[in-house]
Structure 1
Amino acid sequence: MDWDDLRVFLAVARAESLSGAGRSLKCDAATVGRRVGRLEEGLSTKLFLKSPQGYTLTDPGIRLLPHAEAMEQAMGLAEEEISGQAGKLTGQLRIGAPDGIANYLLPQICKRIAEENPELDLQIVALPRVFNLSKREADMAITVSRPTAGRLTVQKLADYQLHLAAHHSYLAAHPEIRSRADLKDHRIVGYISDMIFDKGLDYQSETGAERVALASNSVSVQMQMLRAGAGLGIVHDFALPFAPGVVTVLTEEVSLCRTFWLLRHADDRRSERLTRVAEMLGQGLRAEVARLEALAAQGLTISE
């Protein structure tokens, strides 16, 4: 069985379309279709069913998938060894993450990793959803809830704190906030409830707010609302140094702790390259969270 044909098979299985597979393989859809046909002819079986929704695996295709993934992993490790790149950070690596960590933490951390590893290309994909590592949407992903299912390697990265906050201009123009009960008289900024993709992002129940008047699925948009003096919202302490004028309120009554988890596909656990990047991400993230939370505690901001 030809590895190149299996590589095409994996791309179609993950993209669920010939065009999507072609983009990842950097070739046209017609070529992908011919390669799939050649593989199916060689195996004397159909591996995909075509429908208006795309290409889905048949039962034989489902049975072939784990073997193709195992071969992909073996080929990757073999390339590292043969090329002498084992332990060296080179090539491209994609990290999927919620936009809070992607905006306020990963840029600094990835900058340091890139400076130490000039031949490594890092990509940060910030999307408000859970990444599918089985479809290779990313090499690793960061979440705020520990998954309980799937073939994953899960690593704790760091704990972080969140508090209720508002811009001083909003606080000056609205009734004083002395207890959680006073929040009913204030406009709340937060997530769109039916677009919360991770239970760790559901803050409303913990604040006791009955209504979110201004909502977005993006942490960055919520922060901009707060900076504009639009209302009160839950913010990451590590984001406060980037938001001059936004200050915490009710810190004793409303205090949340969450955890960042790093996810990798279980088949990648033998990759020294990915393991080293994971270690660097963990060390960098813990240090950066501690640095920024210390600045926030002192009421300091980051100068441009």
Structure 2
Amino acid sequence: MDWDKLRIFHAVADAGSLTHAGDTLHLSQSAVSRQIRALEESLNTTLFHRHARGLILTEQGELLFDATKSMLKRLDAAAARIRDSEEEVFGELKVTTTTGFGTLWLAPRLHKLYEMYPDLKIDLMLEERVLDLPMREADVAIRMKEPSQADLIRKKLMSVRMRLYASQDYLDSHKPIDSLSDMPNHRLICQSPNSFQVSAGSTLVQHLLTFEPQSLLTVNNYFGALQAILANVGVGVLPDYLTEDFPNLIRVLPDVESGEVPVFLAYPEELRQSKRVSAFRDFVQDEIFAHRRRMRVLAEET
């Protein structure tokens, strides 16, 4: 099949309009229409249903659109590798991680990476959905479990645990909490049972609920839970990587915690030589090593 025709087809399918696709491609509507008709004739099929409000893909059109999307992602991957300089770090790097880790740990540290590589452009995608790295939905992922996708380079960065925290103001103005039997005197703040979360955190929350806390505030991410805890709303479940950056958090019931949650960094095998990926990987590893050292010092001081 002619690549120019496929490129034009993809633009039309993506825009849902000959006119909008033409504007994107800097072609006239009639030129775009001729190319689509020629492609349909070469395939002996209809790719679009035409109606007054635009174009809708037929079943055959959907199949071809899936193929062109895959092709473009592969081309993007190839272009990214070609653009990577042997000596410099520049260009776009698509990073995905969870909302909690990305908002509360990663984003506040990125200024250090930009100081080293000012020409780097990071597209930070924070969501619980696991993006498809081999299909180039992202270049690098940091996840709270080992990735299961094939053809990925993966490295364990650290382990975290979910623990109970409160603010000092909250503890000063409420009844003591010396054991889990005191939970009926306190409001529990945790992730919503219906939101995506690591199984270790969910297991800890279910255990805490058996002690019948006074009331409950559920939030669908740890950023919201953290804000509620700092605002003296109650006692909450948070990952332990927050304690360095938020010294106002006071750990409650030190013997209560979740099992270990592994944190992995992963990227496609085809980006093994990418200078952008290497720079980001090394930066995250260095930050985590420094974080661990500081936490050990804090533990020794207390």
TM-score by length of 2: 0.72
Q: Is the 8 A contact 1:139 1:264 kept in 2?
A: yes
The Cα shift of 1:127 comes to: 3.1
Alpha-carbon distance between aligned partners in 1 of 2:3 and 2:262, rounded to the nearest angstrom:
39
In 2, the alpha carbon distance for the partners of 1:73 and 1:137 equals 11
Q: Measure how far apart 1:187 and its partner are.
A: 0.7
What letter is aligned with 2:36?
G
Alignment match, 1:93:
93
Q: Per-residue deviation at 1:270?
A: 5.2
Deviation at 1:114, TM superposition (A): 2.2
Verify the 8 A CA contact 1:164 1:255 in the aligned structure 2: no
SS of the residue 1:251 aligns to: strand
In 2 relative to 1, CA 162–282 (structure 1 residues): closer, same or farther, beyond 3 Å? same
Q: What stretches of structure 1 of length at least 5 have no aligned partner? A: none
Q: Secondary structure at the match of 1:230?
A: coil
Partner of 2:113: 113
Partner of 1:214: 217
1:153 equivalenced with 2:156 (yes/no): no
Q: Distance in 1 between matches of 2:88 and 2:292?
A: 28
Asked if 2 retains the 8 angstrom alpha-carbon contact of 1:207 and 1:254, the reply is no
Distance (Å, rounded) in 2 between the aligned partners of 1:144 and 1:49: 43
Query: What's the CA shift for 1:227?
Result: 0.8
Letter in 1 for 2:221: S
Is the 1:158–1:286 contact (alpha carbons within 8 Å) kept by the matching residues of 2? yes
* 1:69 aligned onto 2:93: no
Please tell me whether the aligned partners of residues 152 and 263 of structure 1 are also in contact (alpha carbons under 8 angstroms).
Answer: no
Q: CA RMSD, aligned part only?
A: 4.4
Q: Deviation of residue 232 (structure 1)? A: 0.8
- Answer with 159-168 or 171-180: which moved more: 171-180
- The change in CA–CA distance for 1:89 and 1:39 in structure 2 (over 3 A counts) is farther
Query: 1:191 corresponds to which residue?
Result: 191
Q: C-alpha distance in 2, partners of 1:201/1:72?
A: 35
Per the TM alignment, residue 181 of structure 1 is displaced from its structure 2 partner at its CA by 2.7
Residues 167, 45 of structure 1: CA spacing in aligned structure 2 closer, same or farther, 3 A cutoff? same
Counterpart CA distance in 2 for 1:17 and 1:50 is 14
Q: Are the aligned partners of 2:134 and 2:151 in contact in 1 as well (CA < 8 Å)?
A: no
Contact (CA 8 Å) 2:198, 2:261: kept in 1 or not? no
Q: Label 1:117 to 1:8 Cα distance change in 2 as closer, same or farther (>3 A).
A: farther
Please report how far the alpha carbon of residue 190 of structure 1 lies from its aligned counterpart in structure 2 after TM superposition: 0.9
**Aligned partner of 1:253 among 234, 256, 263:** 256
Which is further off, 203-212 or 159-168?
Answer: 203-212
2 CA distance for matches of 1:39 and 1:180? 72
Match of residue 290 from structure 1: 292
Which amino acid is the alignment partner of residue 242 of structure 1? D
Return the offset for 1:237: 2.2
Work out the number of aligned pairs and report it: 289
CA shift at 1:124, angstroms? 1.7
Q: Give the greater-gyration-radius structure (CA).
A: 2
CA distance in 2 between counterparts of 1:290 and 1:57 reads 55
Is the contact between residue 134 and residue 268 of structure 2 (CA under 8 Å) also seen in structure 1? yes
1:252 is paired with a residue of what secondary structure? strand
Residue-by-residue CA offset, 1:46-86 (whole Å, 9 max, x unaligned): 5678999x9778468547856863675356436744x6735
How far did residue 147 of structure 1 move?
4.0
In structure 2, runs of 5+ residues without a counterpart are: none
Cα deviation, 1:73-123, whole Å, max 9, x if unaligned, reads: 356436744x67356422111212212211232135432332222221112
Alpha carbons 2:5, 2:36 under 8 Å: kept: no
Matches of 1:5 and 1:157, distance apart in 2: 45
* Pair 1:168 & 2:171 matched: no
User: TM-score scaled to structure 1, two decimals?
Assistant: 0.71
Kept in 2: contact 1:161–1:236 (CA 8 A):
yes
Residue 68 and residue 253 in structure 1: after superposition, are their counterparts in 2 closer, same or farther (change >3 A)?
closer
Q: Secondary structure in 1 aligned to 2:177? A: coil
Partner of 1:143: 143
**Residue 233 (structure 1) aligns with:** 236
Asked whether the 8 Å contact 1:162–1:234 carries over to 2, the reply is yes
Query: Contact conserved, 1:170 with 1:229, CA < 8 A, in 2?
Result: yes
Residue 242 (1) aligns with residue 245 (2): yes
Q: Which residue of 1 aligns with 2:205?
A: 204
Give identity over the alignment, percent.
Answer: 22
Are residues 80 and 192 of structure 1, via their aligned partners in 2, closer, same or farther at CA, if it must alter by over 3 Å? Answer: closer
Letter in 1 for 2:85: Q
Write the distance in 1 (CA, Å) between the matches of 2:60 and 2:201: 37
| Worse-superposed segment, 105-114 or 117-126 | 105-114
Measured after TM superposition, the shift of residue 247 of structure 1 is 0.3
Alignment of 1:48-59 (within 5 A): 58=59
